[in-house]
Structure 1
């Protein structure tokens, strides 16, 4: 009579093989990341809802959700120039399931204004993908007797301290861009900070202030209504949404001060994982839905490598740090 099989031994061997396979996947980056994303991805947007960062972040998140079959959940964590939300991501696990929709303000300006940030803008993050650039536009109230950038600079030099310019707050992109223009031209103007871009635009339209240098989307409706005048854009070349408006660089060679947005993750993310997310975001930037959204925001898609995005962060960190230092800005 044949003896029965020892199925206990078979199950024990199966468990050993299964455990060995799991350990192998954990030790092999390619195997470990083959199932990414394995759960919902948290995309932290470090500003309040409704702004360009929020709109672009949600649009990118939607495209990634469709591509990966896992939810990309936008989460607005605002405060302290975006540093509160950025700190949450800096302290997260580097597994690609917590990402940050970064902005020039969060990653390159805020570090110069808040010397005791709980994170390092370079060491605490992994650059993943440059998403878009948004040009700033210099706009003035029609009562200001200027017709272009050259006459604006000439008027400011002849009338030091008489031009009041608004911004969305101390240290905002609008504040920094105008301060940069003032440094480059040696003009003296008075800064009037507001609690947000909307009231800064409203008071420009009302004539309470004379100038503003802010993102194109914030003033496009007012420009089209003829309530304010556009003198120049901050990008190296003219932009499609305002083709008749010259670039500042046409008057001041080398001037560039666009806002930009991009995705970063916590420090320590594996190169293979970064490459996978980067490729998917770059693919999303070519989709008709994203291109339509970017055009509506006056933005330009910027598909590129993680290395190029990292170089941009480092360059603007140094540039805006110098502007802050030379302007003696404090918060």
Structure 2
């Protein structure tokens, strides 16, 4: 997709030709929708077309590998997610994101929402923990896959709270919800857009989320990270470029991305996609990438989590 440009950049300065925005997700997905809004605004600011190119697959690794091997000139950018810091622990990667890629901007965040079957006597996090302790091994919790951020959030909560809950992996977002509504499954942890309609209809109950501050969409729901800070898991979307990109180019991109993400129309698109515009600084984001990489690695090793 070629996104229309605004004014023409000065000849001989960066950028002087179209820029590729590699989206490591399928067309029509939330990251893709947000990326097209980013591209529209960024194109106006940089005065060059932004070409959105979807390269989904391997939990974002296909798109990341493409950008990691691209020329380090600022003309190929990556949209990827927090799964990027998990992938190296569970599958062989043809690149090293810590050496080959560098963040430009953190664009959007979301914790994951824990919901339960409403027949259970569970209305909040404390009741979930209490019920699990009194009924060890009887609660089952679905996520969208082995080693997904919600799965690791569940394992971290189990360790921190000292509870025994069975993990049930599904293949995609929201796939666990019919089983949750029917009572075959006790709980589910999903991106909030998936269960929100069922919560609103009263078919399932939202009891907690994996962040550490209240959610705007579910202000009454307990943040797991407030009680168990180590169990905080926030899904993020972010922009990366090849690590050897020249400092002046990287600096310009970071400046223009911040302007892009401050645009009200862009922020509206982010919220409509089920995320919140990120408020974290780039310095803090770099620290979080390192912290999450080590934290997820420990929980994967401790629980011997492997992909089939």
TM-score by length of 1: 0.84
Q: Point out the structure with max Rg over C-alpha.
A: 1
* Aligned residue among 280, 287, 307 for 1:311: 287
CA distance in 2, matches of 1:223, 1:55: 24
The residue that corresponds to 2:271 in the other structure is: 295
Shift of 1:304: 5.4
CA distance in 1, matches of 2:101, 2:229: 33
Shift of 1:158: 2.1
Is there any run of 5+ residues in structure 2 with no aligned partner, and where?
1-9
Aligned partner of residue 292 in structure 1, secondary structure: helix
Please, what is the CA RMSD of the aligned residues? 2.0
The residue that corresponds to 1:64 in the other structure is: 42
The residue that corresponds to 1:8 in the other structure is: none
Give the count of matched residue pairs. Answer: 298
User: Is residue 150–residue 189 contact of structure 2 (8 Å, CA) maintained in 1?
Assistant: yes
* Aligned residue among 52, 60, 66 for 1:74: 52
Does 2:115 align with 1:112? no
User: Is residue 127–residue 307 contact of structure 1 (8 Å, CA) maintained in 2?
Assistant: no
Is there any run of 5+ residues in structure 1 with no aligned partner, and where?
1-31
Shift of 1:101: 0.7
Aligned partner of residue 171 in structure 2, secondary structure: coil
Shift of 1:34: 6.1
Distance 1:271 1:230, change over 3 A: same
Aligned partner of residue 195 in structure 2, secondary structure: helix
What's the CA shift string for 1:29-70, capped at 9, x where partnerless?
Answer: xxx996222222221122223333222222212211222232
The residue that corresponds to 2:148 in the other structure is: 172
Does 2:84 align with 1:101? no
User: Is residue 39–residue 70 contact of structure 1 (8 Å, CA) maintained in 2?
Assistant: yes
Shift of 1:284: 1.3
CA distance in 1, matches of 2:130, 2:88: 33
Shift of 1:92: 0.4
Does 2:43 align with 1:51? no
The residue that corresponds to 2:260 in the other structure is: 284
Does 2:243 align with 1:243? no
The residue that corresponds to 2:7 in the other structure is: none
* Aligned residue among 176, 184, 197 for 2:173: 197
User: Is residue 236–residue 254 contact of structure 1 (8 Å, CA) maintained in 2?
Assistant: no
User: Is residue 137–residue 213 contact of structure 1 (8 Å, CA) maintained in 2?
Assistant: yes
Shift of 1:181: 1.3
Shift of 1:131: 1.0
The residue that corresponds to 2:118 in the other structure is: 142
TM-score by length of 2: 0.90
Shift of 1:306: 4.1
Does 2:157 align with 1:181? yes
CA distance in 1, matches of 2:135, 2:126: 14
Is 238-247 or 306-315 further displaced after alignment?
306-315
CA distance in 1, matches of 2:185, 2:239: 35
Distance 1:162 1:34, change over 3 A: farther
Shift of 1:294: 2.2
User: Is residue 129–residue 303 contact of structure 1 (8 Å, CA) maintained in 2?
Assistant: no
CA distance in 2, matches of 1:298, 1:82: 19
Shift of 1:249: 3.3
* Aligned residue among 182, 193, 198 for 1:222: 198
